[in-house]
Structure 1
Amino acid sequence: MANTRSSTPAPAMVNIAAPSHNNNDNNNDNGNGNDNTTTSTANTLANDTIMEEDTDILEPAEVTSPKTTNVSPATSPNSEGVKRIASTARNEIAKAKTPDELKEKQKKRKDSKSELPHSLPDTFKSGHATSVTPTLHTSKSLSTSFLLSEKELQSCEVLRNLSTPALYEHALKFEEKQGTHLTSTGALATLSGKKTGRSPKDKRVVSDTPMESAVWRGLGSPNIPLNKTSFLCNRETALDYLGSLERLYVFDGYANWDEKHRVKVRVVCARPYHALFINNLLIRPSSEDELAAFGVPDFTIYNAGSFPANRFNDGVTSSASVSLNLESRELVILGTNYAGEMKKGVFTYMHYLMPTRGVLTLHSGCNVGKDGDTTLFFGLSGTGKTTLSTDRDRPLVGDDEHCWSDDGVSNIEGGCYAKCIDLSAEHEPEIFQAIRYGTVVENVVFSDRSRVIDYHDCQITENTRAAYPIDFIANAKLPCLAHHPKNIIMLCCDAYGVLPPVSKLTIGQAMFMFVSGYTAKVAGTEDGVLEPEATFSACFGGAFLVWHPFKYASMLAERMVKHGSTAWLVNTGWTGGKYGVGSRMQLKYTRAIVDAIHDGSLSEDLVTYHTTGVFNLQVPRACPGVPDNILDPSLCWTDLENFQATLRMLACLYQQNFAKYETAMNSPSFDANLVKAIRDAAPDVVLTR
């Protein structure tokens, strides 16, 4: 097997000046009831540990030289020095072309501009020149080109919503040096470069905007502040880099299958790999007319990941920067080509916007039964969320991101972004079969000769990924809409072996477990440490939250009460002792539990429940297909005293994690009854200092 990674050539010098930027936000609902405590500086927060869900490999922030606190005059947005640098850069780019090439390109630009009507909107003009095909992989021809309103991008050839075949052609023609190749299944394999996972410590949310009162800041928050001037510098760096290129790729599509709350998303990027990725992950316009009528986007991503950020820009701590401006509704990506940053950037924006409309955003899987009963699955990496939500007897609504509105549950995405490390046809046939023509696979290793992927080879990264449209899953439910959930399953992999395999939760316990977002993992063996490590990620997706976690938890509780949803805690981790002593819960038992939840076998009319100590969980005394003694974890331990000590230790970890949310929950905007319910649901243990 051969590693096809190759180095990416350094991009040309570009202008980093930022012109004045018009903000046209139409939604000034700041919300209320959020943590407005004083925040730390960006530098301090960037060096703190940020607990979050572990859906992919997280890249550490780079160690940098001492930072300036203000923008240097030499790099300020409108300095004469920067303008001279920009002019020099553009001259150098022009010199790199032959006279004939330059002459021909200038002629094409002139002809294109002269033919454009002046009555169309500034954001884009359609109906000319570039021929593309509709985004649902049909053969119907669609002639559409347009001009981006940003002046820095006017000189580029802009390719909008290219078809999958066209993007394949561009990727194979222009990205060979970036490691892009065709594999034996027809999937397009590529490399994301130095960054093979998200960079949470490089993520910033602009602070000096009217939306600041909505943003969760402070202890535990992923939202590191960035001032608006620094954001504009990042934005202009990205635009000038993109504007220096021969061609740009633009995708216009949607987030959310619920048309009432659909968000129009535009992605401007340099790599056809990124264009194909986002074409697969978002919802594609279904016709020429729909694309032509797309209009002004609600959210725009400028992906200039091949060009580094200026680490001396105030608030930027490395060459990678992912900065979100809620006021201008823009995301700027610099210094990382990891495509997942675009997916999670959209998700983060949805986490801000949807609650202002009374819609709850959820990091969850979702499937439906033959009678239309809906189940949501929450869980961090390694808990079995994908395995358990992918059920051949229950159509898949979505595997990762959902909204819960007054009309039911809707998938935010039009595709899936699945891990493929150790993937096999035997254990995950649906994902294995989805890796075919049209799919993008990232950072995999394959044979130079046969082009067969080795899913077990992790020499590039363990975070190998496949991005494909959801209709590549044979059992997908289209459109991706479902009724209000009947059951909500919160998964954890308890490596301490003290939580029961299944328990029914009260409303207060559901909020507490949701805000906690607990699982446990085993530390790496390089240093010889084999003790379990607790991981908490608020709302099972703390890295993407914008509002305070209790806002999402209270919305969850309100919907559960209104629609009669039942919440369950399902432990897929250890039994009979902690990791290294006990054994992993057998998958057949967990599947039997989930089946029993779905078919009503765990109804209180059919089985009796007992209450555990410390966590006060309601545990059934019987479950079809599961030995009775397995249901009570204390019966599986040989040392009951050790069991009780471990149980209390885990409860203390829960309490310590929950303590960082306490202050904000005193806000008068939060329902006092819900606040009391979640506090009463905390484990019965006294923290000692």
Structure 2
Amino acid sequence: MTANTAALSGTGVTTAADIHANLTAPGLYAHALRRGEGRLSADGAFIGVTGVHTGRSVADKFVADDPEATQEIWWGKVNRKLEPAKFDTFTADVRSWLGSQKELFVEDLYAGADPAYRIKVRLVTTNAWHALFARNMFIRPPVEELAGFEPDYVILHAPEMEAKPEHGGRAGSTTLIALSFAKKIIAIAGTSYAGEIKKSIFTVMNWLLPAQGVLPMHCSANVGKAGDTALFFGLSGTGKTTLSSDPERALIGDDEHGWSDKGVFNFEGGCYAKVIKLSQEAEPQIWNASHRFGAVLENVIADERGNLDLDDGSLTENTRSCYPIEFIPNTAPGGMAGLPKNVVMLTADAFGVLPPIAKLTPAQAMYHFLSGYTAKVAGTEKGLGKEPQATFSTCFGAPFLPRHPEVYGKMLAELIGKHGAQVWLVNTGWTGGAYGTGQRMSIKHTRALLRAALDGSLNNAEFATDPFFGLAVPQNVPGVPTEVLNPRASWADKEAYDKTAKHLVSLFEKNFETFASGASEEVKKAALRSVA
């Protein structure tokens, strides 16, 4: 077997091109700079620019309608059907295109820190910096485990190739991200946004693990010195990475995890943090990790000397830093920890009416998990404007759910009930008014509230029930002003608050109609209802 044949085994790609397989960061840096793929920051981070696609192309994601899987897939706007024959045509063209290139980069990686649920992933790409991104994001096997590596799933990454109408994607689009669970192949064409690589494998884990009794979760996780694990659910921009990167607690991971009967494990080996307006004072761990050799920065602006301007969103508000998790000084060994004691659901409330923290009953927890309310932050997905948009993304991760949301909701309910985790709803959005009038919640205050929740002291606080949302809200927390705890008190115009709160309740009510038929009676009773 030739070196090329071994490196491309299982991919279906044949080529006489130079294959750069499993290079380390320095080697990938050298090739990326030689090829003119980007530049270095003054601190040695690699800066890549993704062109027209500065976020995920959600409308261009398709799933092959394989007979073996079709009955279990949640078809609709999230999982668009692609005829198997068209998937085959598309992947054949991607393979041919990759095979025609002068050089390719291959990385063999793991997804899943727990060996019992781990999958092997082989990425084939045309760009060294995308290979470095994947190497940072996934788990890097020891050298001795690379010999004889045979992938479970293959990513065919052709960012400069244009998808064609015969490939079956969205009309008029030259971008296509297609996944087949039967063939275990992901093919990506027409986008250089590296997040597509990461999220394609997250979708795979969301498909595989429920059948094994493991809940896949779009959440960050950390663990305290006493072994108390905490989960932080939330969409991009709600603070998963920021709040889980706590010097007092060991980071398990910042975005994707599994919850088994043994505990929690990271799917990844790196972090993918938003860095627009990143503060060295407020978020020192992420700031330091982003200012060093080995980090990959997406669409971050730097001057001619490579000095970063993290306040500059001229390319996109969705500027990103990707770095190995070991760049964070305090991490959980092996990316694993015990069973969760606290579950935190993060929301960036653009209306500014939700309290900064609330204690949820199990039924309320399921309701808010199925609702998945937050505000989409500008730039996270292609086509969003400059202002956040209120949205509901079920399970705090609808774009990555191949199965029906009720599958994941039922599993979370069972795990919380079995292991007795306390659930909290935390608003990292606005206070004192809606977006444009109020101000973003203070990270300092949010950290104080979370520490009180995670160390157990908040359980002893006095709680009052919010009249609009039915939430148990603490009345006094050391280090947090009382007017911050009561969102209505933070608004100058109380009538405007009442009107806005009623409006948000009506949006919750309308959204829940989608899931009401499959929800338990307890969850239906916990559902928000419009008030006079």
Normalised TM-score (structure 1):
0.72
1:388 Cα deviation from its structure 2 partner: 1.7
Where do residues 9-20 of structure 1 align in structure 2 (5 Å cutoff)?
none
Q: Distance in 2 between matches of 1:380 and 1:324?
A: 22
Match of 1:366 in 2: 221
Cα 1:308–1:581 change in 2 (3 A) is closer
Q: Which runs of 5+ in 1 are unaligned?
A: 1-111, 117-122, 126-145, 666-673
Match of 2:477 in 1: 623
Q: Does 1:320 align with 2:182?
A: no
Moved over 6 A (4+): 521-524, 529-532
Q: Which runs of 5+ in 2 are unaligned?
A: 380-384
Q: Distance in 2 between matches of 1:275 and 1:637?
A: 48
1:640 Cα deviation from its structure 2 partner: 4.6
Contact 2:125 2:156 in 1 (8 A): yes
CA RMSD of aligned residues (A): 2.5
Match of 1:71 in 2: none
Letter paired with 1:560: I
**Residue among 504, 514, 529 paired with 1:660:** 514
**1:288-322 deviation per Cα after TM superposition (whole angstroms, max 9, x unaligned):** 2x11142x211110001111111243344310000
Q: Percent identity?
A: 46
Contact 1:124 1:149 in 2 (8 A): no
1:590 Cα deviation from its structure 2 partner: 1.9
Q: Distance in 1 between matches of 2:181 and 2:410?
A: 23
Where do residues 80-159 of structure 1 align in structure 2 (5 Å cutoff)?
113=2, 125=6, 146-149=7-10, 152-159=13-20
Match of 1:248 in 2: 104
Match of 2:419 in 1: 563
Contact 1:496 1:532 in 2 (8 A): no
Cα 1:166–1:617 change in 2 (3 A) is same
Where do residues 530-541 of structure 1 align in structure 2 (5 Å cutoff)?
533-541=389-397
Q: Distance in 2 between matches of 1:621 and 1:504?
A: 12
Where do residues 140-539 of structure 1 align in structure 2 (5 Å cutoff)?
146-149=7-10, 152-173=13-34, 175-176=35-36, 178=37, 180-218=38-76, 221-288=77-144, 290-294=145-149, 296-317=150-171, 318-435=173-290, 436-448=292-304, 450-520=305-375, 533-539=389-395
**1:539-596 deviation per Cα after TM superposition (whole angstroms, max 9, x unaligned):** 1111111111121111111100111100011123333443455444333322221111
Cα 1:451–1:265 change in 2 (3 A) is same
Q: Which of 428-437 and 572-581 deviates more?
A: 572-581
Q: How many residues align?
A: 525
Q: Distance in 2 between matches of 1:157 and 1:560?
A: 51
Contact 2:342 2:421 in 1 (8 A): yes
Q: Does 1:585 align with 2:441?
A: yes
Cα 1:282–1:587 change in 2 (3 A) is closer
**Residue among 610, 617, 625 paired with 2:464:** 610
Letter paired with 2:271: C
1:686 Cα deviation from its structure 2 partner: 7.3
Match of 1:21 in 2: none
Letter paired with 1:552: Y
Letter paired with 2:129: Y
Cα 1:434–1:684 change in 2 (3 A) is same
Three-state SS of the structure 2 residue aligned to 1:364 is strand
Q: Distance in 2 between matches of 1:271 and 1:531?
A: 33
**1:355-382 deviation per Cα after TM superposition (whole angstroms, max 9, x unaligned):** 1111111111111111111111122344
Letter paired with 2:475: R
Contact 1:265 1:299 in 2 (8 A): yes
Letter paired with 1:335: G
1:533 Cα deviation from its structure 2 partner: 4.1
Cα 1:311–1:539 change in 2 (3 A) is same
Cα 1:153–1:562 change in 2 (3 A) is same
State which structure, 1 or 2, has the greater radius of gyration over its C-alpha atoms.
1
Match of 1:649 in 2: 503
1:287 Cα deviation from its structure 2 partner: 2.8
**Residue among 678, 684, 687 paired with 2:523:** 678
Three-state SS of the structure 2 residue aligned to 1:391 is coil
1:150 Cα deviation from its structure 2 partner: 5.4
**1:452-473 deviation per Cα after TM superposition (whole angstroms, max 9, x unaligned):** 2322333322222221111011
1:406 Cα deviation from its structure 2 partner: 1.2
Three-state SS of the structure 1 residue aligned to 2:248 is coil
Q: Distance in 2 between matches of 1:488 and 1:355?
A: 19
Letter paired with 2:525: D
Three-state SS of the structure 2 residue aligned to 1:165 is helix
Letter paired with 2:203: T
Match of 2:382 in 1: none
Normalised TM-score (structure 2):
0.92
Letter paired with 2:54: T
Q: Which of 433-442 and 610-619 deviates more?
A: 610-619
Cα 1:235–1:446 change in 2 (3 A) is same
1:608 Cα deviation from its structure 2 partner: 3.1
**1:384-435 deviation per Cα after TM superposition (whole angstroms, max 9, x unaligned):** 3322211111111111111111111111000111222233433322122213
Q: Distance in 2 between matches of 1:191 and 1:581?
A: 33
Cα 1:277–1:428 change in 2 (3 A) is same
Three-state SS of the structure 1 residue aligned to 2:207 is helix
Cα 1:379–1:414 change in 2 (3 A) is same
Q: Which of 251-260 and 498-507 deviates more?
A: 498-507
Q: Does 1:551 align with 2:407?
A: yes
